[in-house]
């Protein structure tokens, strides 16, 4: 029997990619408690927290062939946070969701600055792939925090055009972002409304 407990996370992930159930079980044993406590801390519901941890691991197993994870613990904790966000979004009103979203995002920046920076890099790359007019409009909204009306005046187009460009940009980002980056898109969407 292999001594999986001696393996590094990267070694275990490599084995998981190859379909090794025992390596997967060892990853689960290593991280489920931390994931569970993080989910409980935010949701304050043990049953939902358990479900979320299970969902994250099921997703990990189902997507094992395409995984490219550098920091396993950070990845799993972040995946848990996003699953928590999804649960909050599906159960709560918008206002409560955004309050929780701000709280979790602040925690992410404080606790996992490397992961947050990596996500920002991916988001910026996707923004650079937007059509020129959408990219310019999106950046004005995001970086300069201009309203639709202000952007329309600056670009000498209608507010409807700006609204369509932002909507098109957000749709593109949502379609191309992995689960790990959904928080960034939601924050941007909140800013530009």
CATH code at 58? 1.10.1740.10
Query: Do residues 38 and 97 both lie within one domain?
Result: yes
Classify residue 121 by burial, with Cβ atoms within 10 Å: 0-12, 13-18, 19+. exposed
CA-CA distance, 183 to 191, in Å (whole number)? 12
Query: Do residues 64 and 141 both lie within one domain?
Result: no
Neighbours of 170 (CB within 10 A): 17
- List all residues 6 or more positions away from 154 whose beta carbon is below 8 Å from its beta carbon: 140, 146
Which one is predicted more confidently, 31 or 70? 31
Domains: count for the chain? 2
Which one is predicted more confidently, 113 or 169? 169
Query: Do residues 5 and 90 both lie within one domain?
Result: yes
Query: Do residues 23 and 106 both lie within one domain?
Result: yes
Which one is predicted more confidently, 48 or 105? 48
Query: Do residues 2 and 89 both lie within one domain?
Result: yes
Query: Do residues 124 and 177 both lie within one domain?
Result: yes
Summarize pLDDT for 92-133 with one digit per residue, the tens.
434 554 555 566 666 666 666 666 666 677 777 888 888 999
Query: Do residues 131 and 190 both lie within one domain?
Result: yes
CA-CA distance, 112 to 53, in Å (whole number)? 19
What tokens were used for 52? 């979320």
Q: Is the pLDDT of residue 150 over 90?
A: yes
Query: Do residues 164 and 134 both lie within one domain?
Result: yes
Query: Do residues 32 and 101 both lie within one domain?
Result: yes
Range of the domain at 103: 1-111
Last residue of a domain, one of 111, 133, 160: 111
């Amino acid at each position: 029997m292999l001594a999986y407990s001696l393996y590094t996370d990267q070694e275990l992930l490599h084995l998981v990619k190859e379909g090794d159930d025992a390596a997967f079980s060892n990853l689960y044993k290593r991280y489920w408690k931390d994931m569970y406590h993080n989910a409980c801390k935010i949701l304050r519901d043990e049953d939902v927290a358990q479900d979320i941890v299970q969902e994250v691991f099921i997703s990990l197993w189902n997507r094992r062939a395409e995984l490219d994870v550098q920091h396993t613990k950070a990845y799993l904790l972040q995946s848990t946070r996003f699953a928590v966000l999804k649960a909050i979004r599906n159960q709560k009103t918008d206002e409560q969701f955004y309050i929780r979203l701000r709280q979790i995002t602040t925690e992410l920046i404080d606790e996992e600055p490397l992961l947050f920076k990596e996500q920002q890099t991916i988001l910026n790359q996707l923004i650079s792939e937007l059509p020129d007019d959408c990219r310019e409009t999106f950046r004005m909204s995001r970086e300069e925090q201009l309203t639709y009306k202000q952007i329309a005046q600056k670009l000498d187009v209608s507010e409807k055009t700006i609204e369509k460009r932002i909507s098109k940009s957000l749709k593109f980002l949502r379609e191309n972002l992995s689960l790990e980056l959904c928080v960034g898109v939601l924050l941007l969407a909140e800013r530009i409304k």
